[in-house]
Amino acid sequence: MILRTILLTVFGVAFIISGMTRPQDLNVGDKASDFSLANFEGEMISFDSYDDAKGYIVIFTCNNCPYAKGYQQRIAELHDKYVSKGFPVIAINTSDSKDEITQRAKEMNYPFVYLYDETQKVTRAYGATNTPQVYVLKKDRTVAYIGAIDNNYKDANAADKHYVQDAIDALLANKEVKIFSTKAIGCSIKWKNI
């Protein structure tokens, strides 16, 4: 009986601790670390690959999550709208295989880079929790915004708060980003056991 109680307590405490230490490392105002990840053509991409960037839209996403799927078109539109203004989209796939990523990028004719984070080191370093999750970075790589693209996962036209666009527009106009953090339902990132 005593043994059982001790075991239960140990399990309980271990569980609570495991629940508390969720990766939530990068916050707004922090400087994001650089990375070097391969796109599907094998080319290594890092922040230095963009010479004239004024900032970056880093998006953690995956192929099959319904929320990520619902946003894939909007991610392409974000890139098309802001790449010429100096904010390219850098999409990082958190959990699919290289073949799956290549296939999706070709199928959808993605205008943005779609990177393969094999070891999930970058995803962990940023503390991404669910997909799709956006980090808007300034030129010096300080985080200006973390969260959702807009406030309607289902219907882009019904969204009336365009968080990412508003954040970038504010940065481009040298204004303060008013809403710098939002939350959205998303698929929890499948962590690999490495």
Partner 1 sequence: MPNFKHQLFLFMSTKFFTFYFSPNNNKFHIRFIKKSRMISWQLKQSAYKSRYICVLISLFFYVTATAQKAELIKSAELFHMLGQCSAKNKIEVYNFWATWCAPCIREIPQFEAVNKLYEEVNITLISLDDADELNNQVNMFITKRKLDSKVVLLDETDFNEIINRVDTNWSGAIPATLIVDCRNGKRTFYEGEFKENELKYTIEKLLNSP
Interface residues with partner 1 (CB under 8 A)? 5, 8-9, 11-12, 15, 19, 22, 24, 65-66, 129-130, 147-148, 151-155, 158, 161, 182-189
Q: Compute CA distances 70 → 9, 41, 61, 106, 157, whole Å.
A: 43, 25, 11, 18, 12
State which amino acid sits at residue 163. Y
Query: Closest approach of Cβ 59 to partner 1, in Å?
Result: 15
Residue 19 or 42 with smaller CB distance to partner 1: 19
Query: Closest approach of Cβ 124 to partner 1, in Å?
Result: 14
DSSP string across 137-184: EETT-BEEEEE-SSS-SS-GGG----HHHHHHHHHHTT---S--B---
Query: Closest approach of Cβ 90 to partner 1, in Å?
Result: 21
Burial of 120 (0-12, 13-18, 19+ CB in 10 A): middle
Query: Closest approach of Cβ 184 to partner 1, in Å?
Result: 5
Contact assessment for residue 65 and residue 187, using Cβ atoms and an 8 Å cutoff: yes
Residue 49 or 182 with smaller CB distance to partner 1: 182
Residue 33 or 181 with smaller CB distance to partner 1: 181
